[in-house]
Chains A and B, each alone.
Chain A
Amino acid sequence: MKFGQPSTLPRWAQLSILPVLNLMAALLVTGLVTWLIGENPLECLKLLIHGAFGYAEGIGYTLFYTTDFIFTGLAVAIAFHAGLFNIGGEGQSYIAGLGVTLVVLACDKFMPFWLLMPLCMLVAMIFGAAWAFIPGWLQAKRGSHIVVTTIMFNFISYSLMLYLISHQLIQAGSQNPASREFATNAWMPAMKDMGAAIGLNLPDTPLNASFFLAVLACVLFYLVVWHSRWGYELRTVGTNSAAARYAGINVTKVIIIAMCCSGAVAGLASINELLGSAHRLNVGFTNGIGFVGVAVALMGRNHPVGIFLSALLFGALTQGGLDLSFAKPLITTEMVLLIEGLVILFCGGLENLFEPFLAVLFRRRV
């Protein structure tokens, strides 16, 4: 297939067979590396899968990571539908975490859960949106490239947060660069507790109600992007800005709003991390979820169903990989990153690698 030509494959094959083949290829190369460093690839794969899905606690952790990746993946996808490549999900989540922390530190003494939690979500979205607004504004009004500005804003957020946490928000008398622990009325209900309430015995994992929020976000994403007036304008701007101009769509405004929405959704990941699991603000709590979000959106082809599935894949890789690195001393966390990197390479960068071969097969059959 020549670059830029539309694929001749049927859509269902593009959406199902291709990603699976890409995933297999990534696993194959990983297997080769594993074998080279002297481990048994099949055994490692078994451990990986077992770590992610083999027992209840593993599943809990997998879904916890999945929640993060759904948020950041959706964030990247929203911007992508406007033709923007938002690499700044990391910084936007991080800064959103600041907003959440400020609200909680100020209000968790007196505000009840049912008021505090929505407020936290709102502030997380506002902080994330604000951090994305500036690159969005610069892109729309000044033509500064969004990829460059969002990457730079990630670095700004790292330094800013490090300063704020270690100098301003740090718990008095502590050596640990983190805020004080949040009061329990600011905790997102854990899955274990919710399960217990309806008589289910679930293991103790960081998985919390944010997961449902993420699923809800997927549904909303679908409705807004494909069924709303604004979503229509968003997609028009993203696919054909000349047509958008013709249609009387305010391209500048759509770009800025799309970036703000993107930042807001990325911001929600901080709810899962801070209120769902850590219950305090740590340095670097985002730990790369914004970047994984880019891969998730790419692999999920910017569709909520795809994003959910690829977020699940990356969640499984994260959790299964951690288990694997505990079990096999030769497989370090860097090796797990290598696996993720290969998945991104094959599913994102080389997504059409097998297209020509498949196309030939399909043509023969027809």
Chain B
Amino acid sequence: MTDFAIELMGICKSFGAVAANRDVDMKVAKGSIHGIIGENGAGKSTLMSILYGYYHADAGVIRVNNRETRIRSSQEAIRLGIGMVHQHFMLVDTFTVLENIILGAEGGLILKHGLAKAREHLKQLNLEYGLEVDPDAVVGKLGVGLQQRVEILKALYRGADVLILDEPTAVLTPQEADHLFRILRALRNQGKTVILITHKLREVMDTTDNVTVMRGGQVVGNVRTCDVDKAVLADMMVGRKVNMKVDKQAREPGEVVLSVKDLKLVDARGVNLLKGLSFDVRAGEIVGVAGVAGNGQSELLEVLAGMTEATSGEVHYKGEDLVRRKYRQPKAAALRKMGIAHVPEDRSREGLVKTFPAYENAILGHQRDPAVCKGWFYRRRDLIKHASQLISQFDIRPDNPMLRAGLLSGGNQQKVVLAREIHANPDLFLVGQPTRGVDIGAIEFIHRRLVELRDEGKAILLVSVELEEIMALSDRILVMVGGEISGEVPGADATASALGLLMGGGDKH
């Protein structure tokens, strides 16, 4: 009989009328890497939050090490040997690694004793699992990959036998991700249990022993990884056949729409965020910007969209230099009027006002457009009608323009933003992370729309940290590292490993 570290039986959890988990059964064998995979909103995170004591299940049984338990708080989860590495790190930037690790477990009033003891323990953990973290480094100065390892150390230091990782590779380069997986395997070989939440099929295939596939709050399958392949898993996740490839004909791009020359951005602290970028985007082509998050792609988008003022350089668009041009209204509004649409990277923070109903979000940025509002007052009925049209065109569900945007799933939120920006019929399309946190069905839809726009002759600048997406969509790929373009690759013959090398080619790690 296999020994189980965690057994969940009949877990149910509802938020209001929404059932996030319905009768979930899952068993995690001791000393294994267990993947939980599913689309956004499938209930993975809710399930793990229940296991980690953030939420309480409405019904169901949790067994840890064959003993039935109730986990009322994350402190209790830690006491039971469950550790969690969050998607957003819970670290104090100005503290050293060592200080961060003992935070909350200082071991007495006098810090020195705790620190000394922790240092010894840390050395041992470092050796055992090949973590390679310097205990005296200041956390804020470490790269993301290392910060993540600090989080892992933190959990191990608290005696975690079961480690939950929530989308751990979202912020890593392929190389860093490989290192992470080496660590996870080392953990498994030492008898630890790892639960990996992800929506990336490749990771599941490469690293896990068993997989639980979730869809719509329910478990659709518990399988051994060696018994399945990517396609089978994708089908299980979505419940139907998915076309992972994007149909795209080769197309001769038209004239230059956007021309960026020696664009620089220095922030208030004097940090060089953009170090002289030059590139063109032509009509009818998708230019992909690949790179690990935080290498200047976000700033590039913000500058081009008029949300941030460039320090120097030129941005030529429709015969004007957007950097030098004078603006009588906020720049973002002026550029939007000139036909530049922007799908922001962080849609829930910038692209939407979550507390507003969908129909109000459908005019965000266009609120002064004469087509939307002729005088001082809106005609609410017209706005709702407009939103209803977009909703049916983009198959946004549920099809209720009065619903608050925050209640829509990630994919449908993104469709609201896309619908709004496409409706404006722009000439230049700035798209940031179009499918972040979006389920596979919606990804397909969004990709198809972007290719359609390209075929209509729009110029598209696509920023994404998903290499597969960049490779599937782009005609040309620019790779950014440390605010510079480290290389350009034609989309047709790009490979993940070649891009990965360019992405890691900076001085960051």
Residues of chain A whose beta carbon lies under 8 Å from any beta carbon of chain B: 8, 223, 227-230, 232-233, 235-236, 239-240, 242-243, 245-250, 366
- Please state if A243 and B306 are interface contacts (CB–CB under 8 Å): no
Report if A245-B364 is in contact (Cβ < 8 Å); known contacts: A230-B376, A235-B356, A250-B330. Answer: no
- Please state if A248 and B306 are interface contacts (CB–CB under 8 Å): yes
Query: Which residue from B17, B329, B349, B380 sits with its C-beta under 8 Å from A248?
Result: B329
- Please state if B373 and A246 are interface contacts (CB–CB under 8 Å): no
Tell me, rounded to whole Å, the shortest Cβ–Cβ distance linking A10 to chain B.
8
| Residue total for B at the interface (Cβ-Cβ under 8 A) | 36
Report if A246-B351 is in contact (Cβ < 8 Å); known contacts: A228-B377, A233-B367. Answer: yes
Assembly CA distance A223 to B377 (angstroms): 8
A228 cross-chain contacts in B, Cβ below 8 A: 376-378
The verdict on B294 contacting chain A, using a C-beta distance below 8 Å, is no
- 13 A-B pairs besides A239-B354, A246-B305, A246-B342 with CB distance below 8 A are A227-B378, A229-B368, A229-B376, A239-B353, A243-B349, A243-B352, A245-B307, A245-B332, A247-B364, A248-B330, A248-B332, A248-B333, A248-B335
Report if A245-B350 is in contact (Cβ < 8 Å); known contacts: A229-B373, A232-B367. Answer: yes
8 A–B contacts from the bound complex (CB under 8 Å): A228-B378, A230-B376, A242-B346, A246-B332, A247-B364, A248-B306, A248-B330, A248-B333
A8 cross-chain contacts in B, Cβ below 8 A: 15-16
B16 cross-chain contacts in A, Cβ below 8 A: 8
- Please state if B336 and A248 are interface contacts (CB–CB under 8 Å): yes
A366 cross-chain contacts in B, Cβ below 8 A: 17
- Please state if B332 and A247 are interface contacts (CB–CB under 8 Å): yes
Tell me, rounded to whole Å, the shortest Cβ–Cβ distance linking B375 to chain A.
8
Assembly CA distance A245 to B308 (angstroms): 10
- Please state if A248 and B377 are interface contacts (CB–CB under 8 Å): no
B365 cross-chain contacts in A, Cβ below 8 A: 246-248
- In chain B, residues 329-387, which have Cβ atoms closer than 8 Å to a Cβ of chain A? 329-336, 342, 344, 346, 349-356, 360, 363-365, 367-368, 373, 376-378, 380
- Please state if B330 and A249 are interface contacts (CB–CB under 8 Å): yes
Assembly CA distance A16 to B331 (angstroms): 44
Main secondary structure of the interface of B (DSSP, over half): loop
Assembly CA distance A230 to B373 (angstroms): 11
- Please state if B353 and A248 are interface contacts (CB–CB under 8 Å): no
B363 cross-chain contacts in A, Cβ below 8 A: 232
Query: Which residue from B15, B349, B364, B378 sits with its C-beta under 8 Å from A236?
Result: B364
- Please state if A240 and B329 are interface contacts (CB–CB under 8 Å): no
Report if A227-B332 is in contact (Cβ < 8 Å); known contacts: A240-B354, A243-B352. Answer: no
Assembly CA distance A243 to B363 (angstroms): 12
Tell me, rounded to whole Å, the shortest Cβ–Cβ distance linking B209 to chain A.
34
Assembly CA distance A5 to B213 (angstroms): 28
- Please state if B373 and A227 are interface contacts (CB–CB under 8 Å): no
Report if A229-B354 is in contact (Cβ < 8 Å); known contacts: A246-B344, A248-B330. Answer: no
B356 cross-chain contacts in A, Cβ below 8 A: 235-236, 239
- Please state if B336 and A243 are interface contacts (CB–CB under 8 Å): no
User: Shortest 10 CB-CB distances between A and B: which pairs?
Assistant: A248-B333, A248-B332, A247-B365, A246-B350, A248-B330, A240-B353, A242-B350, A228-B377, A247-B364, A250-B330
- Please state if A236 and B353 are interface contacts (CB–CB under 8 Å): yes
Closest to B332 in A: A248
B376 cross-chain contacts in A, Cβ below 8 A: 228-230
- Please state if A248 and B334 are interface contacts (CB–CB under 8 Å): yes
- Please state if B378 and A246 are interface contacts (CB–CB under 8 Å): no
- Contact mask B289-309 → A, CB, 8 Å, 1/0? 000000000000000011100
Assembly CA distance A242 to B347 (angstroms): 10
Tell me, rounded to whole Å, the shortest Cβ–Cβ distance linking B362 to chain A.
12
- Please state if B350 and A239 are interface contacts (CB–CB under 8 Å): no
- Please state if B377 and A243 are interface contacts (CB–CB under 8 Å): no
Assembly CA distance A255 to B140 (angstroms): 34
Assembly CA distance A228 to B372 (angstroms): 11
A242 cross-chain contacts in B, Cβ below 8 A: 346, 349-350
- Please state if A243 and B350 are interface contacts (CB–CB under 8 Å): yes
Tell me, rounded to whole Å, the shortest Cβ–Cβ distance linking B62 to chain A.
20
- Please state if A246 and B307 are interface contacts (CB–CB under 8 Å): yes
Which one of B335, B342, B367, B380 has the highest number of Cβ atoms from chain A below 10 Å of its Cβ? B367
Assembly CA distance A247 to B336 (angstroms): 9
Closest to A248 in B: B333
Which one of A228, A230, A242, A247 has the highest number of Cβ atoms from chain B below 10 Å of its Cβ? A247
Tell me, rounded to whole Å, the shortest Cβ–Cβ distance linking B333 to chain A.
3
A247 cross-chain contacts in B, Cβ below 8 A: 332-333, 364-365, 367
A249 cross-chain contacts in B, Cβ below 8 A: 330, 333, 367
B335 cross-chain contacts in A, Cβ below 8 A: 248
Tell me, rounded to whole Å, the shortest Cβ–Cβ distance linking A147 to chain B.
22
Assembly CA distance A223 to B336 (angstroms): 27
B305 cross-chain contacts in A, Cβ below 8 A: 246
Tell me, rounded to whole Å, the shortest Cβ–Cβ distance linking A317 to chain B.
31
